[in-house]
C-alpha cells in the first residue's frame, strides 16, 4: 500500500468534545485489504472509488479493516467523528480565561486519534487540510492559509498542500492568537501564542532565524517550507515538538523577556535549535521505523549544541552537552536494564519509553565522538550527501553510515554498528608498566558482572606535544608512556577510564595542562567508579578535595551536584552533610554577588549552588527568604533559590500557592512549583495535591511538584504512602508519554532508602504499560543506591 495524499476537512464547534471530519485518502494498492489506524474515533461511512464499503473496527488494536482485494489507484472517502482528549496528547483542549485553544501533539502515534490514517513514519503523504470554525476563531497548520470562504454563517479556512511527510508531523491548532514575526529572506517566521498569553520579546524569533541561517549553510539545503510558526502552548507534555513548519513549545522554551533567567535564555536557544535541526533531520528526511528514532533525536541534540556554540560562544554550551546529556547517558547506560541506541520497536506505542537519555544523550555524544574521529569537514560532507540523497524520503541509520564512509574512506559502518547495537559502554583500565601503558577494556556496569563485549573505541591519546588517534578494538593493547598526559582528550569519548595510582598521579601532575572538560571527565569517572564499588568513599572524597579549589563553574557544579545526589540518598549522614555544606558555602563565596559582564556559566552556576545551599544552611535560607515579598522583581537567576528558601523556612504551602496564582510567566512560575515540594508535613502536602487537582499547578508541571516533594527529606514518608495515587494522577495526565516512567525511575530509589523491600513490593505491583522501563531501572537503582549508602556509612 502506498499513500499519495490525505484531503482532510474538520468541523469544529466551540466547547464541543467531538470533531466531525471527512477525508479522502488517495492510495495505490496491490491486491490487498485495507487497514487504517484509528483510536477513539467513530467511523460513520467508508467509500472506495465511490462505492460504499463494509468495515470492521477493532477498538482494542485501534484498527479499521476493509476486507477485499483492492488493486491499483483507490480513493478512500471516510466520514468520522473524533474526540478532543483529556490527556495532553492527540488533539486536546487548553482553557485560557474565557476562551479555549485546541492543539495537537502526535509523536509517535497520535494522528490516529484525530483522523483515520496509516500512522507509521514510512507512509509519507501530502496533506491538504481545511477547517470550519466560528468567524471569530483562527487556525494554524503546517502550511500557509490558501484561502478563507464563508460557509453557513461560519468560515472555512483552507491550507496549502504540504510536501510528502509522515503523519506524526501533522499539526493543527484552533483558537485566537497573538503573534510576533520576523523574516528569513522572504519567509515569515512567527512566534504565536493563544490570545492573552504572549508576553515575549522577539528574542526567540531572532534565535530561530539565526539557527535557520546556520543550518541552511551547514546542510547546503534551504529551509523547505514557505513559512515557520513557533507555537507557544500553555499546557504541554513535551518540551517541544518538530511538526514541520509549525513547531510547538512549552512557554518557557519559546518566550523570553528582560526578566528571563540566563539558564532559560540558553535553554530557549538550545531547544529552538534542536527543533529546527529536525526540519532537515527528521522532517525532510525521516526514519523508516521507530528503531531509528535515536537518529532523529541524537542528531538534533548534537546539532543544537553545535549551533548554539557557534552563535553564542559566551554560553560555553558544549559544557552543558557534557555535564547534562553525557552525564545522564553514562549513568543510565551503566544499568543492565538499559537498551541499545538502535532498539527493537514492534509497535509505535512502545516508542514513548525510549525518549530517554540513551536516544538523546548517548546518541548525541556518540555522534560527537564520531565527528572527532572523522574530522569536522568530512563529517559535514557526509551529512550533506545523506540529506540530499534522501530528501522527502525515509532512510535508516545504515544509510547515513554508508554516506559518511564513502566521503571519508573510514570504517564508519563497522564502528557505528558496535556502538548502536550493543547495550552499555566500555571502561578502559590503564596501568603503567615501565615504558608502556597497558590498556584493557571491559563493559562498565554499576551492578553485576561485566560481559565479554569489545567495542571499537576511537581513542584520543594526549601527549605533551601531540594528540594521537588510535582505534582500540581488542581486549588489550599497549601504548608508549612517553610524554603521556591523559586518555580521552576533551572528554569526547563515550567510555570510562580507570587509571592505576601511578598513572592518576602522572595525570594530576599535568593539571595545569588539562582543560575543564578533561577535569570534568576525571571527576565523573571517579564518581562512577565509587558508585560501582571500584573505589572507596575516602578515595573518592580525596579526588573531590584535590579539585575543589578550581575556579571553573563546571567543576564547582560537578562536585556539588555529585555530592548532592549522594546527600539525597542519606540526608542524615553527618560527614556527607558537612562536606557538601562546606563546598556549597565555599563555591558560593567564590562565585560572589552578580556582576555586570560576568560569564554566563558563572550566572547559571550561582543559581544552582544557592538552590542547593538553602537546603543545607538554614541561617542562609532564613536570610534570603526575607526577600520573598519582592519575588517578582528579584534577580531572575536566583528566583529558584529564593522560592526554595521561603518554602523551607516559612513552611507554608498556601504562601507559595498564592504566588503561583499571581505569577503568569512560565519561567518564574516553574521555580515556585518546584519550591512547593519543599514545604513539609501532611497539611502542606495536601495543599500541593489540591493545587494539582484544581490546575493551579498546570497539568504539565504536576511531575515537577511531585518530584520536588520526593526530594524533600521531611516529606518522603508522606509521598511514599501516597505513591499509588501519584502514579494514577501522572498516568491520567500523561498517558502514552515517558513521564510516569521517568517519575518512577527518579523518585523510587530515593523514597526507597530505608524501606527497600516495601518499595520493591510497590514497584512489582505497578501495572501501567507506560511505566515498564522506569520500573526496571528503579529496581536496579534501588539496589545500587542502597549499596552506595552503606559504603558511605562504613
The whole-number average pLDDT for the span 224-234 is: 98
Note the pLDDT tens digit of each residue in 703-738: 999 999 999 999 999 999 999 999 999 999 998 889
Give me the pLDDT at residue 144, please. Answer: 99
**Helix (H) and strand (E) counts in the chain:** 26, 27
Q: Domain 426-519: give its CATH code.
A: 2.60.40.1910
Q: Give the DSSP H or E segment for 747.
A: helix 739-751
Give me the pLDDT at residue 197, please. Answer: 96
Q: Domain 567-595+602-793: give its CATH code.
A: 1.25.50.20
Could you tell me the CATH superfamily of domain 176-280? Neutral Protease Domain 2 (1.10.390.10)
Pairing of strands 187-194, 466-472: unpaired
Nearest to 609 by CA among 636, 597, 628, 591: 591
Average pLDDT over the chain, rounded to an integer: 96
Residue 582 φ/ψ, nearest 5 degrees: -60, -45
Nearest to 456 by CA among 433, 437, 477, 436: 477
Q: Is the pLDDT of residue 241 over 90?
A: yes
Identify the band that residue 560 occupies on the pLDDT scale cut at 50, 70 and 90.
very high
Give me the pLDDT at residue 586, please. Answer: 98
377: burial class by Cβ within 10 Å (0-12, 13-18, 19+)? exposed
Identify the band that residue 345 occupies on the pLDDT scale cut at 50, 70 and 90.
confident
Give me the pLDDT at residue 346, please. Answer: 79
Share of the chain above pLDDT 70, in %: 100
Give me the pLDDT at residue 86, please. Answer: 81
153: burial class by Cβ within 10 Å (0-12, 13-18, 19+)? exposed
Torsional class of 397: left (φ above 0), alpha (ψ -120 to 50), beta (otherwise):
alpha
Q: Which neighbouring-strand residues pair with 584?
A: none
Which of the following is catalytic: 107, 242, 251, 275? 275
Give me the pLDDT at residue 770, please. Answer: 86
Q: Which CATH number does the domain 1-175 belong to among 2.60.40.1730, 3.40.120.10, 3.30.70.2190, 3.50.50.60?
A: 2.60.40.1730
Give me the pLDDT at residue 248, please. Answer: 99
Q: Is the pLDDT of residue 448 over 80?
A: no
Identify the band that residue 352 occupies on the pLDDT scale cut at 50, 70 and 90.
confident
Kindly provide the residue ranges of all beta strands, DSSP E only, lying in 343-475, ordered along the sequence. 393-395, 426-433, 436-443, 457-463, 466-472
What percent of the chain is helix, strand and coil (3-state, nearest 5)? 50, 25, 30
Could you tell me the CATH superfamily of domain 285-421? Neutral Protease Domain 2 (1.10.390.10)
Give me the pLDDT at residue 295, please. Answer: 85
Identify the band that residue 343 occupies on the pLDDT scale cut at 50, 70 and 90.
confident
Crossing angle (nearest 10°) for helices 553-569 and 600-616: 30
740: helix, coil or strand?
Answer: helix
Give me the pLDDT at residue 422, please. Answer: 93
How many whole angstroms from its chain centre is CA 682? 33
Q: Is the pLDDT of residue 386 over 90?
A: yes
Report cis status (omega within 30 of 0) of the bond before 211: no
**CATH code 1.10.390.10 region(s) in the chain:** 176-280, 285-421
Q: Is the pLDDT of residue 273 over 90?
A: yes
Neighbours of 533 (CB within 10 A): 13
**CATH code 2.60.40.1910 region(s) in the chain:** 426-519
Per-residue DSSP letters for 639-688?
A: HHHHHHHHHHHH--HHHHHHHHHH---HHHHHHHHHHHTTS-SHHHHHHH
Q: What is the dihedral of CA 780, 783, 788, 792, to 10 degrees?
A: 160
Place of cell 483562527: 138
Q: Give the DSSP H or E segment for 380.
A: helix 376-390
Note the pLDDT tens digit of each residue in 518-527: 999 999 999 9
Told to judge if 275 belongs to the known catalytic residues of this protein, a careful annotator would answer yes
Interior/surface letters 676-709, b for 16+ CB within 10 angstroms, e for the rest = bbbbbeeebbebbbebbeeebbbbbbbbbbbbbb
Identify the band that residue 449 occupies on the pLDDT scale cut at 50, 70 and 90.
confident
Q: Is the pLDDT of residue 557 over 90?
A: yes
The whole-number average pLDDT for the span 523-540 is: 96
Identify the band that residue 658 occupies on the pLDDT scale cut at 50, 70 and 90.
very high
End-to-end CA distance of the chain: 65
Amino acid at each position: 500500500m502506498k499513500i499519495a495524499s490525505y484531503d482532510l476537512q474538520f468541523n469544529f464547534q466551540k466547547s464541543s468534545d467531538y470533531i466531525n471530519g471527512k477525508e479522502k485518502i488517495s492510495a495505490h494498492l496491490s491486491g490487498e485489504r485495507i487497514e487504517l489506524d484509528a483510536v477513539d474515533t467513530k467511523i460513520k461511512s467508508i467509500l472506495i472509488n465511490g462505492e460504499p464499503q463494509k468495515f470492521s473496527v477493532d477498538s482494542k488494536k485501534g484498527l479499521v479493516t476493509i476486507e477485499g482485494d483492492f488493486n491499483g489507484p483507490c480513493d478512500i472517502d471516510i466520514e468520522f467523528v473524533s474526540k478532543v482528549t483529556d490527556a495532553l496528547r492527540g488533539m486536546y483542549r487548553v482553557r485560557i480565561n474565557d476562551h479555549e485553544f485546541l492543539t495537537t501533539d502526535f509523536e509517535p502515534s497520535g494522528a490516529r486519534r484525530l483522523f483515520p490514517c496509516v500512522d507509521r513514519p514510512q507512509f509519507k503523504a501530502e496533506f491538504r487540510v481545511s477547517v470550519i470554525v466560528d468567524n471569530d476563531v483562527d487556525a494554524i497548520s503546517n502550511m500557509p492559509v490558501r484561502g478563507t470562504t464563508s460557509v453557513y454563517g461560519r468560515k472555512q479556512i483552507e491550507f496549502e498542500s504540504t510536501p510528502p511527510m509522515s503523519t506524526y508531523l501533522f499539526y493543527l491548532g484552533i483558537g485566537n492568537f497573538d503573534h510576533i514575526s520576523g523574516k528569513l529572506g522572504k519567509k515569515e517566521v512567527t512566534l504565536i501564542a493563544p490570545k492573552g498569553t504572549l508576553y515575549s520579546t522577539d528574542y526567540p524569533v531572532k534565535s530561530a532565524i539565526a539557527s535557520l541561517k546556520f543550518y541552511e549553510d551547514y546542510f547546503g539545503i534551504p529551509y523547505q517550507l514557505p513559512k515557520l510558526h513557533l507555537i507557544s502552548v500553555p499546557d504541554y507534555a513535551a518540551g517541544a515538538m518538530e511538526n514541520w513548519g509549525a513547531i510547538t513549545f512549552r512557554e518557557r522554551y519559546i518566550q523570553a523577556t528582560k526578566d528571563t533567567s540566563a539558564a532559560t535564555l540558553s535553554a530557549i536557544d538550545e531547544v529552538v535549535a534542536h527543533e529546527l535541526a529536525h526540519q532537515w533531520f527528521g522532517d525532510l528526511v525521516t526514519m523508516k521505523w521507530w528503531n531509528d528514532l535515536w537518529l532523529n533525536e541524537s542528531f538534533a541534540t548534537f546539532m543544537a549544541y553545535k549551533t548554539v556554540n557557534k552563535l553564542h560562544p559566551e554560553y560555553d554550551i558544549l559544557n552543558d552537552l557534557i555535564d547534562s546529556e553525557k552525564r545522564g547517558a553514562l549513568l543510565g547506560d551503566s544499568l543492565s536494564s538499559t537498551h541499545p541506541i538502535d532498539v527493537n520497536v514492534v509497535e509505535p506505542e512502545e516508542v514513548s519509553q525510549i525518549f530517554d537519555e540513551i536516544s538523546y544523550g548517548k546518541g548525541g555524544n556518540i555522534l560527537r565522538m564520531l565527528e572527532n574521529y572523522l574530522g569536522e569537514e568530512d563529517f559535514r560532507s557526509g551529512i550533506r550527501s545523506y540529506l540530499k540523497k534522501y530528501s522527502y524520503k525515509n532512510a535508516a541509520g545504515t544509510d547515513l553510515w554508508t554516506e559518511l564512509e564513502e566521503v571519508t574512506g573510514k570504517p564508519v559502518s563497522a564502528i557505528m554498528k558496535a556502538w548502536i547495537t550493543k547495550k552499555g559502554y566500555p571502561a578502559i583500565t590503564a596501568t603503567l608498566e615501565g615504558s608502556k601503558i597497558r590498556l584493557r577494556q571491559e563493559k562498565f556496569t554499576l551492578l553485576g558482572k561485566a560481559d565479554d563485549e569489545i567495542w571499537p573505541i576511537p581513542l584520543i591519546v594526549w601527549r605533551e606535544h601531540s594528540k594521537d588517534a588510535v582505534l582500540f578494538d581488542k581486549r588489550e593493547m599497549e601504548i608508549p608512556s612517553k610524554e603521556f598526559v591523559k586518555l580521552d582528550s576533551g572528554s569526547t569519548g563515550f567510555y570510562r577510564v580507570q587509571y592505576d595510582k601511578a598513572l592518576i598521579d602522572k595525570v594530576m601532575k599535568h593539571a595545569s595542562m588539562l582543560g575543564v572538560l578533561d577535569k570534568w571527565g576525571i571527576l565523573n569517572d571517579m564518581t562512577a567508579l565509587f558508585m560501582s564499588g571500584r573505589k572507596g568513599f575516602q578515595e573518592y572524597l580525596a579526588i573531590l578535595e584535590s579539585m575543589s579549589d578550581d575556579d571553573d563553574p563546571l567543576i564547582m557544579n560537578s562536585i556539588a551536584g555529585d555530592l548532592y545526589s549522594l546527600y539525597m540518598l542519606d540526608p542524615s549522614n553527618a560527614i556527607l552533610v558537612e562536606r557538601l555544606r562546606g563546598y556549597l558555602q565555599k563555591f558560593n563565596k567564590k562565585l560572589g554577588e552578580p556582576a555586570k559582564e560576568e560569564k554566563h556559566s558563572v550566572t547559571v552556576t550561582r543559581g544552582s549552588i544557592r538552590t542547593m545551599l538553602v537546603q543545607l544552611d538554614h541561617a542562609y535560607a532564613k536570610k534570603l527568604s526575607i526577600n520573598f515579598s519582592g519575588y517578582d522583581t528579584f534577580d531572575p537567576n536566583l528566583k529558584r533559590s529564593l522560592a526554595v528558601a521561603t518554602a523551607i523556612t516559612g513552611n507554608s504551602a498556601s504562601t507559595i500557592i498564592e504566588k503561583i496564582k499571581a505569577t503568569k510567566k512560565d519561567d518564574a512560575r516553574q521555580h515556585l512549583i518546584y519550591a512547593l515540594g519543599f514545604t513539609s508535613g501532611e497539611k502542606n502536602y495536601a495543599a500541593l495535591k489540591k493545587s494539582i487537582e484544581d490546575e493551579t499547578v498546570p497539568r504539565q508541571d504536576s511531575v515537577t511538584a511531585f518530584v520536588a516533594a520526593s526530594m524533600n527529606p521531611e516529606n518522603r514518608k508522606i509521598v511514599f504512602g501516597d505513591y499509588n495515587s501519584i502514579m494514577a494522577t501522572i498516568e491520567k495526565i500523561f498517558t502514552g508519554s515517558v513521564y510516569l516512567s521517568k517519575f518512577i525511575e527518579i523518585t523510587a530509589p530515593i523514597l526507597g532508602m530505608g524501606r527497600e523491600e516495601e518499595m520493591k513490593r510497590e514497584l512489582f505491583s505497578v501495572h501501567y504499560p507506560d511505566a515498564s522501563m522506569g520500573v526496571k531501572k528503579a529496581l536496579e537503582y534501588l539496589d545500587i543506591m542502597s549499596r552506595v549508602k552503606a559504603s558511605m556509612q562504613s
